[in-house]
Structure 1
Amino acid sequence: MGNLASTYRNQGRWEEAEKLETQVLETQKTKLGANHPATLTGMASLALIYRDKGQWEEAEKLETQVLETQKTKLGANHPATLTGMANLALIYRDKGQWEDAEKLQIQALDAYKINLGANHPYTLSSMNGLASIYWEQGRWEEAKILQVQVLEAYKMKLGVDHPDILLSINGLALTYWKQGRWEEAKMLQLQVLEACKIKLGVDHPDTLTIINNLALIYIDQGQWEEAEKLLVQVVDAHKIKLGVNHPDTLISVANLASIYMDQSRWEAAEELLIQVLETSKIKLGTDHPDTLTIMNNLALIYIYQGRWEEAEKLLVQVVDARKIKLGVNHPDTLTSIANLASIYRAQGQWEEAEELLVQVLETCKIKLGTDHPNTLTTMNNLASTYRDQGRWEEAEKLHLQIIETHTIKLAADHPDTLASIANLASIYCNQGRWEEAEKLEVQVLEAFKSKLGVDHPDTLISMVNLASIYGNQCRWEEAERLQMQVLEIRKIKFGAGHPATLAIMANLAWTYENQGRWEEAETLNGQTLELPSIPPR
């Protein structure tokens, strides 16, 4: 029955798995006793099912009970006790209790090193667990150091094509991805992908995970066609292999929707997310973390379309559910509160937006640290709220802090650093400080061209911003040259009727009007009558 429960768990049939595992556990308690190793293993297995279901309180309760019994019965340094510590640390990680998670994982790791050796598989697994805790906190350099150590040890111990090595390389690639080192990340992922296809098969879950991760890199590089092609492949494979209602299938469909969102294909994205949401509610429950994430993403689609009431209704549900399920201070709860603030900000309800963002920022600083990505994102949103109210000095002060932190933590040419510099430039624009704004925007544009390429969406946005700076200084020829360049690239990349293409047409028409070129302006304006409520730049 325990093996069947494990099968159900792997199939995402968690209710059936829980029912069977509970039966097995009750039998073991009666037959073997509450402290028997087999009973403890059954409790740990049930805790894993609770983790899958997002029932972290129940998982923590069971795993704590297991750990305490193992300490008493087997000793603090027994491998089974240390495994229990590592499992409990991962539950703390999922709950956003990173200090508790880190403390436990380090304790387990130190004991593994002493008792089993630095290169024992359990030790290396514990190092990977600690790296994942650092990764979740945005401490990517610390995560990378551990991942590189594990990878080198695995190569010596297991050989270059062992599955554990492939998963380790994948983890390192994800760290590079978060650091904006996309080419290095892509090279590693392609290497792992080819090995997984040969070793495991094209439709193996690990192979599909690598394909999904590779798609994420393509998304950040603006290579949406390549990303979409990969994610469609993942979705189709998951549907055949796992079924349309399996959690992994639902996640892959939601990822595909995110590509449509990036391309402003709102209807396609909305259709997919509504479909996934309904299934997720039935399959996982209305308060499961994955269900709430889908609701959050659907709300973002409504926000970009200016459908404020629908967005607010969804986000209030998400915030309330996450407060109960995860706690007020959990990173996911804070993110949904910040998204709710963005609705208030977009509607000019700045006091409400500011109140929420200040609350989120203070919690992020205490909970995550001043240099965590979520903290910096919240600071950026608060700065934008100040900017919208004409509170330039407060906005500038925050943006300068963000730039300094990003430069130290990520590097001067990381996309997030460049985006924060561009935001500061926009503050200078609002104040008519054109020379300062131009200097910053030129810096950003050159870095984006070098880092991402001329036709990357972020590069094009920077060109649009610089053209606007030129226009506001009546440097029409320079503005027109940039706008024409953006228009041609967007026509090729997105199509003539895409909102981003139409937006740059409107900007170019404005440039023509200011030069008295009325006919050319009128021709362009005729093509831009149907702009979205929040057009991409």
Structure 2
Amino acid sequence: MRLNFSTSLMKEVVDNLKDDAPRLDSILMHMGSMYATLSKFEKSLDVYQRAVYIMERTYGMDSTFLVTPCLGMAKVLGSIGKATKAIETYQRVITLLESSRGTKSKDLVVPLLSLANLLLKEGRANDAETHFTRVLNIYTELYGQNDGKIGMAMSSLARVKCAQGKSDEAIQLFKRAIQVMKDSNYLSPDDNIMEKMRVDLAELLHTVGRGQEGRELLEECLWITERYKGKEHPSLVTHMINLATSYSRSKNYADAEHLLRRSLQIMIKQKGTDDQSISFPMLHLAVTLYHLKKDEEAEKLALEVLRIREKAFGKNSLPVGEALDCLVSIQTRLGRDESELLELLRRILNIQEREFGRESEEVLVTLKKIVYYLDKLGKKDEKLTLQRRLSVLSKKYKQMVNY
């Protein structure tokens, strides 16, 4: 509230000042930063543009005084989706710095990184690689090969290699980056940046079928968080769920169950028993218990997830459809009433049709289940109608696969 009041007061003052007013450019840059912090990007852009205009007239078009407002303006342009103008502005900043301080100045790092990250976001991985490589070269020349900043630059290049589909190169870069960061003690082991690098590498290793290596990294993440933050800290939950997911993929459901129970206990202690966030590890646990053939407990958890999600998201929401799908699988094996199962499947179908479309693959799978139960219950008329629809949809997907 106080920050909003401050910007309003400053705007009133600067609007009445002429462009040649003393230190107006500095005030405008400060306002641009404040507006950006408040996510008032259009206002931020306006004051940055005015600051640049004043400084161009005062210091000339090639002055390095333009670097700060241009950087602020480029960041705002990127935030509001004007990527082309943002890229042009970053390139202008780089040209200004190269002209005045040389092509290997450490002052180039910030605009090069900002430009590279924007290019990567825009799907221009090859262009981004050029700028990230320049940063790596600048850091190497200034600090040597074993400085933590080198690890940061390698991590950025690893993300580029991922985007280019070069998984092996990305893995090697991530590993080297993490090792350099460890050896240099550049960041604390529990730092968010280090954590993200380990998680990104673990995810990549799982993607290429190297699940055991990925699990070792996720176990390291969990161990570090426990050591630095305690065994009941809320930030443990994400690592537990990630690791449980990895265990489930390798069919190690017993270890997955243990982690999911711990994560659920932490979340309930933090959020209570009705918060929608607890439904996600709870449903994961229900699925895990189903695989362990602990169907009675799995059913209780799935019903509880359904209750929480219906209240939080509405009875026809996608999260409710996910819970219903799990519940149907469990109750089918428990031999629950087939008419009730059919009604649950109809609810799932309605949700999927709305969320994914009437010809989606999800709808195809659910239609097969409904037709199966209609046949068992002797509802021939309903079965024939849906069977025709199922036949058309099946042919469509078969053609797509063959194509």
Residue 82 of structure 1 deviates from its aligned partner by 1.7
* Map of 1:106 onto structure 2: 87
Structure 1-normalised TM-score?
0.45
Residue 171 of structure 1 and its aligned partner are, at CA, apart by 1.6
Taking the aligned partners of 1:139 and 1:384, their CA distance within structure 2 comes to 33
What is aligned with 2:387?
none
Large movers: runs of 4+ above 6 Å: 21-35
Q: Spell out, residue by residue over 1:47-79, the C-alpha distance to the aligned partner (whole angstroms, 9 max, x if none).
A: 57x4xxxx7x44x25533442332333248721
Deviation (angstroms), 1:106: 1.2
2:220 to 212, 230, 235: 230
Secondary structure, aligned partner of 1:263:
helix
- Structure 1 pair 254–74 and aligned structure 2 pair: CA distance change class (3 A): farther
- 8 Å Cα contact 1:90/1:129 also seen in 2: no
Change in Cα spacing, 1:45 to 1:254, as seen in structure 2 (3 Å) is farther
Question: Which residue identity lines up with residue 232 of structure 1 in the other structure?
Answer: L
SS where residue 160 of structure 1 aligns? coil
| Alignment-derived partner of residue 132 in structure 2 | 147
Q: 2:362 aligns with which of 384, 396, 409?
A: 384
The Cα offsets for residues 186-243 of structure 1, whole Å up to 9 and x where unpaired, read as 3222222222223335626344443444444455432364133221244246538xxx
CA contact (8 A) 2:94 2:112 kept: no
1:259 corresponding residue in structure 2: 243
* Amino acid in structure 2 at the alignment position of 1:222: G
Shift of 1:89: 3.9
Structure 1 letter corresponding to 2:183: I
> Aligned equivalents of 2:125 and 2:88: distance in 1?
21
Corresponding residue of 2:174 = 189
CA distance in structure 2 between the partners assigned to 1:43 and 1:119 by the alignment: 31
SS in structure 2 opposite 1:165? helix
Q: Which runs of 5+ in 1 are unaligned?
A: 1-17, 279-285, 287-291, 320-336, 360-380, 402-537
Q: After superposition, what is the alpha-carbon deviation per residue over 1:331-363, rounded to whole angstroms, capped at 9, x for unaligned?
A: xxxxxx87666567775332431332249xxxx
SS of residue matched to 2:211:
coil
SS at 2:241 equivalent: helix
Provide the rounded CA distance (Å) in 1 between the counterparts of 2:147 and 2:356: 46
Q: Rate the CA distance shift 1:272–1:214 in 2: closer, same or farther, 3 A.
A: farther
**Alignment check: 8 A CA contact 1:67 1:85 kept:** yes
TM-score, length basis structure 2: 0.58
**Other-structure match for 2:96:** 115
Question: CA 1:345–1:354 in structure 2 vs 1: closer, same or farther (change >3 Å)?
Answer: farther
Give yes or no for the alignment of 1:169 onto 2:171. no
1:64 aligns with 2:58: no
Within 5 A, what are the aligned runs for 1:71-86? Answer: 71-75=52-56, 78-86=66-74
**Partner amino acid, structure 1, of 2:67:** P
**Superimposed CA distance per residue, residues 290-330 of structure 1 (whole angstroms, 9 cap, x where no aligned partner):** xx9x679558648857444434544559x9xxxxxxxxxxx
Tell me if structure 2 keeps the 8 A contact 1:144–1:175.
yes
Cα deviation, 1:370-426, whole Å, max 9, x if unaligned, reads: xxxxxxxxxxx933333443311333455678xxxxxxxxxxxxxxxxxxxxxxxxx
- Tell me, yes or no, if the aligned pair for 2:94 and 2:111 is still in contact at 8 Å: no
Q: CA deviation at 1:165?
A: 3.2
Question: For the pair shown, which has the larger CA radius of gyration, 1 or 2?
Answer: 2
Is 1:315–1:340's contact at 8 Å kept on the other side of the alignment? yes
Q: Equivalences for 1:185-334 in 2 at 5 Å?
A: 185-201=170-186, 203=188, 205=191, 206-220=193-207, 221-223=210-212, 225-236=215-226, 239=229, 253-264=237-248, 265=256, 266-274=260-268, 297=280, 301=284, 304=287, 306=302, 307-315=305-313
Given that residues 264 and 281 in structure 2 are in contact (C-alpha distance below 8 angstroms), is that contact kept between their aligned partners in structure 1?
A: yes
Partner Cα distance (1:67, 1:299) in 2 = 48
Shift, 1:169, TM fit? 0.9
Instruction: Give the equivalent residue in structure 2 for 1:88.
Output: 76
Q: CA deviation at 1:147?
A: 3.3
Following the alignment from structure 2 to structure 1, what is the Cα–Cα distance between the partners of residues 310 and 13? 53
Counterpart in 2 of 1:414?
none
Deviations 1:106-129 (A, max 9, x none): 122331243233655565533433
Give the Cα–Cα distance (whole angstroms) in 1 for the partners of residues 124 and 282 of structure 2: 29
Mapped to 2, the partners of 1:354 and 1:158 lie a distance apart of: 57
What amino acid sits opposite 1:354 in the alignment? E
Distance change in 2, residues 1:200/1:87 (3 Å): farther
AA aligned opposite 1:116:
L
CA separation of 1:154 and 1:74: change in aligned 2, threshold 3 A: same
- Counterpart amino acid of residue 310 in structure 1: I
Answer yes or no: is the 8 Å Cα contact 2:234–2:266 preserved in 1: no
Is 2:45–2:77's contact at 8 Å kept on the other side of the alignment? Answer: no
SS, match of residue 230 in structure 1? helix
Structure 2 Cα separation of the partners of residues 358 and 299 of structure 1 = 28
The root-mean-square deviation of aligned C-alpha atoms, in Å, is 4.7
**Cα distance in 1, alignment partners of residues 227 and 5 from structure 2:** 33
Q: CA deviation at 1:253?
A: 4.0
Alpha carbons of 1:251 and 1:113: their partners in 2 closer, same or farther (altered >3 Å)?
same
CA contact (8 A) 1:270 1:301 kept: no
- The 1-side partners of 2:402 and 2:32 are apart by 48
Partner of 1:513: none
Is contact 2:104–2:138 with CA below 8 Å preserved after alignment?
A: yes
- Give the distance between the partners of 1:68 and 1:219, measured in 2 at CA: 46
> Aligned ranges for residues 464-479 of structure 1 at < 5 Å?
none
- 2:354 paired residue number: 355
Is the CA contact (8 Å cut-off) linking 1:170 and 1:210 kept in structure 2?
A: yes
Given that 2:140 and 2:150 are in contact with CA atoms closer than 8 Å, whether structure 1 keeps it comes out as yes
- Gaps in structure 2 of 5+ consecutive residues: 18-22, 249-255, 288-300, 327-343, 368-389
Cα-to-partner distance string for 1:77-105 (whole Å, 9 max, x where unaligned): 7212221123214533xxxx4xx2x2233
- AA paired with 1:194? Q
1:462-485 CA-partner distances (Å, limit 9, x unpaired): xxxxxxxxxxxxxxxxxxxxxxxx
| Structure 1 residues 179 and 107: CA distance shift in structure 2, 3 A | closer
Residues 202 and 64 (structure 1 numbering): CA distance in 2 closer, same or farther, change over 3 Å? closer
Query: Shift of the alpha carbon at 1:45?
Result: 5.2
- Name the residue aligned to 2:374: none
